[in-house]
């Protein structure tokens, strides 16, 4: 009976982990779309992608809370200190759970790598825009200086002509 309960807990951990993996794959897809939007300077679509990612992250957080609750039950009941120690319980699904968790870790690493690339591209784009804005402002200042000089010269020209 006790072994059956443990297997039920582990089965639920697998279900939660599989859900999380699917959601992480959705985030990976959105992160790739973000990279494309950044390259194409699609700022509007970038905002929507970020909103979509946040919704999925919120769902994952709920899954993680449920996962943690079941995991804590197993830890308390059997004195398991980490997921790697689940094999000591001799239940049939521990290997499957560890494989799903390994897959989750790989997906998270890929998401992290892409996020770093995206952040780098965004910083480069912002620096480029900042540089262009500075040049425009310098051009405006120069234009204002020259336009003031031409206005004062026109007035003196008319004064000289009246003599």
Return d(Cα 40, Cα 32) in angstroms, integer. Answer: 13
- Supply 94's token pair: 């521990």
Report the helix count and the strand count for the chain, using DSSP H and E.
3, 0
CATH classification of the domain holding 53: 1.20.58
Distance of CA 131 to the CA centre of its chain: 26
pTM: 0.74
Return d(Cα 55, Cα 123) in angstroms, integer. Answer: 24
Question: What are the angstrom distances between the C-alpha of 154 and each of 8, 49, 101, 143, 147?
Answer: 91, 56, 78, 17, 11
Domain that holds residue 11: 2-121
Q: What is the pLDDT of residue 31?
A: 95
Q: What is the pLDDT of residue 151?
A: 55
Per-residue pLDDT tens listing for the chain (163 residues): 567 787 888 899 999 999 999 999 999 999 999 999 888 876 778 889 999 999 999 999 999 999 999 989 888 887 877 777 777 666 778 889 989 999 999 999 999 999 999 999 888 877 877 887 888 877 777 777 666 655 555 555 555 555 4
Q: What is the pLDDT of residue 17?
A: 96
Quick check: is 148 in a domain?
no
Quick check: is 76 in a domain?
yes
Quick check: is 142 in a domain?
no
Q: What is the pLDDT of residue 136?
A: 84
Domain count, the chain: 1
């Amino acid at each position: 009976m006790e072994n059956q309960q443990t297997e039920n807990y582990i089965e639920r951990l697998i279900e939660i982990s599989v859900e999380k993996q699917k959601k992480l794959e959705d985030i990976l897809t959105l992160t790739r779309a973000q990279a494309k939007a950044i390259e194409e300077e699609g700022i509007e679509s970038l905002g929507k992608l970020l909103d979509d990612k946040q919704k999925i992250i919120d769902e994952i957080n709920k899954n993680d809370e449920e996962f943690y609750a079941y995991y804590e039950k197993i830890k308390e009941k059997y004195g398991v200190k980490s997921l790697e120690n689940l094999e000591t319980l001799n239940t049939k699904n521990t290997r499957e759970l560890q494989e799903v968790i390994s897959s989750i870790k790989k997906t998270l690493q890929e998401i992290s790598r892409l996020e770093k690339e995206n952040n780098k591209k965004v910083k480069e784009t912002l620096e480029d825009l900042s540089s262009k804005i500075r040049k425009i402002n310098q051009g405006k200042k120069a234009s204002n200086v020259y336009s003031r000089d031409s206005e004062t010269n026109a007035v003196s020209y008319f004064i000289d002509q009246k003599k």
